[in-house]
Structure 1
Amino acid sequence: MSMPFRVSDLPLRLITGAFILNSGLNKRGADEEAAAGMHGMAANAYPFLGKVDPVTFVKVLSASEIALGAALMLPVVPSRLAGAGLTAFGGALTGLYLRTPGMHEEGGVRPTEEGTGLAKDSWLLGAGLSLVLSGCAQEWKHQLKQRRRKMRKQAH
């Protein structure tokens, strides 16, 4: 039986997982002012979030980050699945960067000084896509081996 990940995925999974897990753990005790700030920025980029209570938003965000970080760090979770979660999370953060005025040059994507910290989160999107592709490649390789075995068996 093959592992649900490639050994070469481990550094990417462990480092991003630890970073996201820590972020989620740090948000657990956010006060109302901090929750309002995080919620306000998110709701500005994603207006549907404006209907969610700020404290509830941060609790859900915290729990989501903890779950994603743990999934990335647990070797029983396939890279494709962990990568899909990381891609969604990284995509949302990249969207936040692109939708927030003042974070990037007008008419472009280069970050302003204020936007550099948020623009750096785009690496999560790239890391997630890499894990998804790695997991798919591993599955395709496994399927190809099974087909070859089946063809050899039928030939004999």
Structure 2
Amino acid sequence: MDVRRVARQLPLRLASGAFILNSGLSKRGADQEAAEQLHGFASTAYPVVGRHEPQRFVRMLSTAEIALGTVLLVPAVPGVVAGAGLTAFSAGLVGLYLRTPGMRQEGSLRPTEQGIALAKDSWLLGIGMSLIVDGLPECGRRSR
């Protein structure tokens, strides 16, 4: 384990991991109304979500967020692995922002007032990609 790499990645992993873990734990006990709202919102952008019953969808989402948050918080998990998971998850969140009507200003990527919360998920995508890049072996490294 490269201690310097782990230390370098720690702030990124702590911030994103704690945020995602908390989100997953918060969804764990969602009531029917909250599950239906979240399910309806997600199925607007991703119609395949509509195949699942709202409570089941929220349980799956909660489990995925808890697992991803935990992976990010455990330093023994390689950064490239944690980064790949975060990048995939956050790409879905950015897709939700891009696909949901009313989240962006007409003809622009700039968020509307309603879209600000989703647009902020782009920082997770940046963190995930940074973890991947940082975890890749250096190409063309010269020995001294």
Shift of 1:2: 3.5
Deviations 1:36-71 (A, max 9, x none): 111111100001111111100000000000000000
TM-score normalised over the length of structure 1: 0.86
Match of 2:93 in 1: 93
Amino acid at match of 2:99: R
2:42 matched to 1:59?
no
Aligned mates of 1:39, 1:85 — CA distance in 2 = 22
SS of structure 2 residue aligned to 1:6: helix
Deviations 1:96-149 (A, max 9, x none): 00000000011111000111111101111111001000001xx236x957xx59
Shift of 1:77: 0.3
2:19 matched to 1:19?
yes
Match of 2:119 in 1: 119
State which structure, 1 or 2, has the greater radius of gyration over its C-alpha atoms: 1
Q: How many residues align?
A: 144
Question: Aligned match of 1:140 in 138, 141, 144?
Answer: 138
Quick one: structure 1 residues 68 and 34, their matched pair in 2 at CA, closer, same or farther if it must change by over 3 Å?
A: same
Shift of 1:7: 1.3
Name stretches of at least 5 consecutive residues in structure 2 with no aligned partner: none
TM-score normalised over the length of structure 2: 0.93
Quick one: structure 1 residues 40 and 4, their matched pair in 2 at CA, closer, same or farther if it must change by over 3 Å?
A: farther
Q: Does the 8 A contact of 1:4 with 1:75 survive in 2?
A: no
Deviating more after overlay: 124-133 vs 5-14 = 5-14
Name stretches of at least 5 consecutive residues in structure 1 with no aligned partner: 150-156
SS of structure 2 residue aligned to 1:128: helix
Aligned mates of 2:60, 2:34 — CA distance in 1 = 14
Shift of 1:15: 1.0
Q: Does the 8 A contact of 1:4 with 1:76 survive in 2?
A: no
SS of structure 1 residue aligned to 2:69: helix
Shift of 1:34: 0.3
